[in-house]
Amino acid sequence: MKRLAILGSTGSIGVQALDVAARFPERFEVVALCAGRNAARLGEQARRFRPKLVAVADERAAREVAALVPAGTEVLAGDAGAVHAATHPEVDLVVAAISGGAGLRSTAAAVEAGKAVGLANKESLVLAGELVMARAAARGATILPVDSEHSAIHQSLVGHNRSEVRRLILTASGGPLRGVPAAELADVTPARALKHPNWSMGDKITIDSATLMNKGLEVIEARWLFGVEPRRIDIVVHPESIVHSMVEYIDGSMVAQLGVSDMRGPISYALGHPERLPLDLAPLDLAGLGKLTFEPPDAARFPAFTLAYRALEMGGTAPAVLSGADEGAVAAFLAGRCRFTQIADACAAALDAHAPEPLRSVDQALEASAWGRREVERRLAR
């Protein structure tokens, strides 16, 4: 029996993680749930899974949720609540699926407590990958990626010698705007950018998928997760989202992982690891698909992913600044306060204005991210 804490339980990944856990009641017990402000959904989940502890982002949500959970369930609020859920002594595996930089503190706490972590919150590694991975090694905490690309790479590395890896190749769907001409991009509405052809995800990551910033953030995530230098991490656009990513070895062989576009696949890989769970997803029908296509990413129309390589080159606090800048720019775009094309421009300007410092702590990473966000908000308010 694995005992779970699901952080971000009311979001897209969190709901699917609970769906997987519910299919295997003999294997998983939900000990702690943590969410932001969706008290109604969290209350429902608490009544169904009967965790010992639920945590929410603030006191107001805590009061709301306290009225909805079964008697005896502890209710906590704020960062401290998320950290409590992530480090609960009865928890074996923490699913880190809070969105954005808000997920870093609880991921870092889970690692520090030596927990196994199913990591969906890529921002934890974008903001502080070097620190988080070093602490995971020191504390014996296993990090299992939930991002489908990193899960594919994790699976493609099993049984192989790390020193024989030549390149990691991240596949990208190309997002909702792949075929849109450059001249139209400035007028793209949030509703249009939110229509992803293959994946149903939270709003932030869907917009990041449209700009290709998501792929850039995944390059940073892969850099730390697998210890591979950025120049050996490539991106290829694969609109069918069937090949979830690949590893190229020194003899030119490529090992890839394929599957249908359903996040319950990578979630179940992380939850079940080292065993695979008998999941009844729709089978992958390659003959029915007929062909798989690949093309290079278009940096002229979608320059955001190139900023990730630049931030890694700058080093230290620069990736955290990029992540915060992107959170600010995406929020502004969704609120109708900036154009689609301004997202990458504003992030580039924030990086230009930043003098990176060596990264020493989670607090410093969070401060750098907050600075990036403020910098973008200031520029977009002009």
Ligand X SMILES: NC(=O)c1ccc[n+]([C@@H]2O[C@H](COP(=O)([O-])OP(=O)(O)OC[C@H]3O[C@@H](n4cnc5c(N)ncnc54)[C@H](OP(=O)(O)O)[C@@H]3O)[C@@H](O)[C@H]2O)c1
Q: Residues interacting with ligand X, by CB under 6 A?
A: 8-14, 34-38, 57, 82, 97-99, 102, 120-123, 147, 199, 201-202, 204-205, 263
Q: What's the min distance (Å) between Cβ of 12 and ligand X?
A: 4
Q: What's the min distance (Å) between Cβ of 315 and ligand X?
A: 22
Q: CA-CA-CA-CA torsion for 172, 178, 179, 182, nearest 10 degrees?
A: -130
The CB-based long-range contact list for 253-261 (8 Å cut-off, 24+ gap) reads 254/169, 255/156, 255/157, 255/160, 256/152, 256/156, 257/151, 257/152, 257/153, 257/155, 257/156, 258/284, 258/286, 259/284, 260/284, 261/148, 261/198, 261/199
Q: What's the min distance (Å) between Cβ of 4 and ligand X?
A: 15
Please, are residues 329 and 321 in contact by the beta-carbon 8 Å criterion?
Answer: no
Nearer to ligand X, 54 or 338 (CB): 54
Nearer to ligand X, 129 or 379 (CB): 129
Q: What's the min distance (Å) between Cβ of 380 and ligand X?
A: 21
Q: What's the min distance (Å) between Cβ of 80 and ligand X?
A: 11
Peptide bond into 274 cis (omega under 30): yes
Q: What's the min distance (Å) between Cβ of 34 and ligand X?
A: 5
Q: What's the min distance (Å) between Cβ of 249 and ligand X?
A: 26
DSSP state of 102: G
Nearer to ligand X, 81 or 379 (CB): 81
Please, are residues 368 and 317 in contact by the beta-carbon 8 Å criterion?
Answer: yes
CA distance 323 to 123: 7
Interhelix angle 318-334/123-139, rounded to 10 degrees, is: 140
Task: For 222-248, give the DSSP string.
Answer: HHHHTT--GGGEEEEE-TT--EEEEEE
Nearer to ligand X, 148 or 156 (CB): 148
Q: In what order do the strands lie in the sheet with 165-172?
A: 233-237, 165-172, 243-249, 254-258
Nearer to ligand X, 104 or 368 (CB): 104
Please, are residues 141 and 149 in contact by the beta-carbon 8 Å criterion?
Answer: no
Nearer to ligand X, 330 or 351 (CB): 330
Nearer to ligand X, 168 or 379 (CB): 168
CA distance 216 to 233: 10
Q: What's the min distance (Å) between Cβ of 62 and ligand X?
A: 11
The set of residues, in sequence order, having a beta carbon less than 8 Å from that of 246 and lying 6+ positions away, is 152, 153, 156, 168, 169, 171, 254, 255, 256
SS3 339: coil
Query: Minimal CB distance to ligand X: which residue?
Result: 11
Q: What's the min distance (Å) between Cβ of 187 and ligand X?
A: 25
Nearer to ligand X, 201 or 376 (CB): 201
Nearer to ligand X, 10 or 211 (CB): 10
Per DSSP, the chain holds a count of helices (H) and strands (E) of 17, 11
Please, are residues 330 and 100 in contact by the beta-carbon 8 Å criterion?
Answer: no
